[in-house]
């Protein structure tokens, strides 16, 4: 348990928000990808644009989600949909200590476009292998 909570774990991908990158055929075949999660990413250590991360859902803190980091603090992102944006300009500046995350399958993803930037304190780990 100590190793899983603090260093590395093996998790299965449930849902289609990261398809086609992860579990692209799960809804048809039932086959799900397994990912190795590096857990020692507390406070954003080593988190960068393009990383696939696990995070505690801001709207359901008892559940974990997996998404891709689109922006890190200071980045300007242009949400495809949803999130109330800065002065109606269609852009958001990612605040200090936050990341912007989105699912690869934006049609099936509940992500920063819906709930805004995510505190680095909610990032649980980074996928290092599939």
**pTM over the 0.85 mark:** no
Q: Could you report how far apart the first and last alpha carbons of the chain are, in Å?
A: 21
The Cα-based distances of 12 to 23, 35, 42, 65, 90 in angstroms read 9, 6, 21, 11, 34
What residue numbers bound the domain in which 107 lies?
Answer: 2-129
Beta strands in 1-130 (DSSP E): 8-12, 34-38, 52-56, 64-72, 76-77, 92-93, 98-102, 118-119, 123-129
Q: How many domains does the chain have?
A: 1
Which CATH number fits the domain that encloses residue 51? 2.10.109.10
Q: Tell me the pLDDT tens digit for each residue of 13-69.
A: 777 777 777 765 655 666 677 788 887 655 556 799 999 998 998 888 888 888 999
Over residues 63-115, the pLDDT tens digits come to: 888 899 999 999 999 887 666 555 566 788 999 999 999 998 888 888 998 88
Residues belonging to the active site: 17, 67
């Amino acid at each position: 348990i100590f190793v899983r909570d603090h260093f590395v774990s093996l998790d299965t991908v449930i849902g289609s928000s990261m398809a086609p990158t992860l579990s692209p055929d799960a809804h048809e075949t039932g086959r799900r990808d397994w990912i190795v999660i590096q857990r020692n990413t507390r406070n954003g250590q080593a988190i960068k644009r393009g990383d696939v991360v696990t995070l505690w859902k801001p709207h359901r803190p008892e559940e974990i989600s997996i998404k891709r980091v689109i922006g890190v603090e200071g980045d300007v992102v242009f949400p495809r949909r949803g999130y109330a944006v800065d002065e109606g300009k269609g852009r958001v500046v990612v605040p200090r200590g936050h990341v912007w995350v989105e699912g690869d399958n934006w049609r099936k993803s509940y992500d920063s476009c819906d709930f805004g930037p995510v505190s680095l304190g909610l990032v649980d780990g980074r996928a290092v292998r599939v």
